[in-house]
């Protein structure tokens, strides 16, 4: 092991104190009247083994015994300040450079001894599916490619229109009239040639269409919104039958909504509906009224707001797949208010044992 103070965490020596980190609430202060801890930290450059560090510190401060020095290294490691520089990466130099800031970011979440490169490897090896490459989907796709997902399946059926360009950043006006999904493939291959974007130009018309698209992948991001009355149920049935985690989101005027689910754990959309009926006896009437309303919703969405939701969805997917942090929205419908950037939980649910979709054993070979 070669302990190295993480390059992403700044530290300052101030009088007889060491301040570690800058962020409010995260910064730590260590008293260091003799300067021994400062000296120890300077030795944590990733070039020395622990025994070499002990020897180096004892040469300068002979009164400190080796147990105390090892204890100091252990405390810094437990605080999340250290990484093991002897861990080598299987990634080639191109990949290390392209995703350098990703890997630095992941190092914020790794413990001493963890391999931060494995997180990038996990991303590049994980096949992921995306339903919809419209307003949210184009931005989600960019984020996935930027993160380094190299195997993405994407589906859409629309053609590009002039009114898309206030928020659909993937396309250009010369593409008007062309298929979104084909132009998405062209543009993403220019942005990140490592991405194998497997495209399907199709309108979803059944749960089986969802299954055909998502099987073989490990997570689904759904931002498709058509057909309005069916898409959530069809996608839900598809992910339950394939037993895949899903992140789902949309933009509605000044707010964005999103939820995520792991069928074997959180239950599914049907569980949510059934649970909501149990705690709110008006729920069924409300759903029926919404389904019967004669109202065609027009998009009211600006790109900066779409970007907030797209980023949030991909962050939730990242957390589910890599486990660097706990997802915010598992089993919960969450809302972000674009006007004040606050988030709140709209509703939450628990898995219903008698759910007709996920309650009788998920992934039960129906696919």
State the residues that interact with Zn ion by CB under 5 A: 267-268, 270-271, 355, 357-358
Looking at the Cβ atoms of 129 and 270, the one nearer to Zn ion is 270
Looking at the Cβ atoms of 309 and 358, the one nearer to Zn ion is 358
Indicate the residue whose CB is closest to Zn ion.
355
In angstroms, what is the minimal distance from the CB of 130 to Zn ion? 23
Cα 189 from Cα 6, distance rounded (Å): 33
In angstroms, what is the minimal distance from the CB of 260 to Zn ion? 14
Residue 261 phi, psi dihedral angles, 5° rounding: -145, 150
In angstroms, what is the minimal distance from the CB of 129 to Zn ion? 20
Looking at the Cβ atoms of 76 and 355, the one nearer to Zn ion is 355
DSSP 164: G
In angstroms, what is the minimal distance from the CB of 355 to Zn ion? 3
**Burial classification of residue 357, based on how many CB atoms lie within 10 Å of its CB (0-12 exposed, 13-18 middle, 19 or more buried):** buried
Q: Where are the beta strands (DSSP E) in 279-350?
A: 332-337, 343-348
Asked if residue 245 lies in contact with residue 262, where contact means CB atoms within 8 angstroms, the answer is: yes
Any bridge partners for residue 219, and if so which?
128
Looking at the Cβ atoms of 143 and 351, the one nearer to Zn ion is 351
Q: Where are the beta strands (DSSP E) in 44-195?
A: 82-84, 128-131, 151-156
Cα–Cα–Cα angle for 311, 194, 185, rounded to 5 degrees? 70
Looking at the Cβ atoms of 120 and 266, the one nearer to Zn ion is 266
SS3 362: coil
In angstroms, what is the minimal distance from the CB of 261 to Zn ion? 9
**Burial classification of residue 361, based on how many CB atoms lie within 10 Å of its CB (0-12 exposed, 13-18 middle, 19 or more buried):** exposed
Looking at the Cβ atoms of 179 and 243, the one nearer to Zn ion is 243
Looking at the Cβ atoms of 3 and 207, the one nearer to Zn ion is 207
In angstroms, what is the minimal distance from the CB of 259 to Zn ion? 13
SS3 19: strand
Residue 145 phi, psi dihedral angles, 5° rounding: -65, -40
Q: Quote the tokens at residue 151.
A: 């195997």
Q: Quote the tokens at residue 130.
A: 């995306």
In angstroms, what is the minimal distance from the CB of 269 to Zn ion? 7
């Amino acid at each position: 092991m070669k302990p190295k103070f993480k390059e992403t965490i700044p530290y300052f020596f101030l009088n007889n104190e060491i301040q570690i980190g800058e962020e409010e609430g995260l910064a730590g202060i260590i008293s260091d009247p003799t300067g021994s801890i400062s000296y120890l930290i300077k030795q944590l450059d990733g070039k020395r083994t622990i025994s070499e560090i002990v020897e180096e510190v004892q040469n300068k401060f002979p009164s400190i015994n080796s147990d105390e020095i090892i204890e100091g290294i252990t405390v810094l490691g437990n605080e999340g300040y250290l990484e093991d520089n002897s861990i080598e990466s299987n990634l080639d130099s191109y990949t290390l450079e392209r995703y350098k800031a990703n890997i630095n970011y992941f190092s914020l979440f790794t413990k001493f001894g963890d391999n931060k490169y494995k997180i990038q490897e996990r991303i590049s090896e994980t096949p992921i599916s995306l339903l919809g490459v419209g307003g949210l989907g184009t931005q989600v796709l960019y984020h996935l490619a930027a993160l380094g997902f190299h195997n993405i399946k994407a589906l859409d059926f629309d053609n590009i229109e002039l009114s898309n360009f206030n928020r659909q950043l993937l396309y250009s006006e010369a593409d008007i009239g062309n298929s979104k999904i084909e132009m998405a493939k062209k543009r993403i291959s220019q942005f990140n040639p490592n991405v194998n974007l497997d495209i399907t130009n199709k309108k979803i018309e059944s749960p089986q269409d969802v299954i055909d698209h998502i099987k073989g992948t490990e997570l689904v991001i759904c931002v498709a919104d058509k057909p309005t009355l069916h898409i959530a149920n069809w996608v839900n049935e598809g992910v339950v039958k394939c037993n895949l985690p899903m992140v789902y989101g949309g933009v509605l005027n000044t707010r964005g909504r999103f939820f995520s689910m792991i069928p074997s754990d959180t239950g599914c959309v049907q569980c949510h509906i059934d649970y909501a009926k149990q705690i709110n006896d008006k729920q069924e009437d409300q759903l029926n009224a919404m389904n019967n309303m004669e109202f065609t919703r027009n998009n009211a969405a600006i790109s900066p707001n779409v970007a907030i939701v797209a980023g949030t969805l991909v962050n939730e997917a990242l957390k589910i797949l890599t486990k660097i942090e706990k997802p915010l929205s598992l089993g919960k419908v969450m809302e972000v208010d674009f006007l004040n950037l606050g988030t709140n939980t709209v509703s939450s649910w628990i898995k219903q044992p008698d759910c007709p979709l996920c309650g009788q054993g998920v992934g039960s070979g129906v696919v």
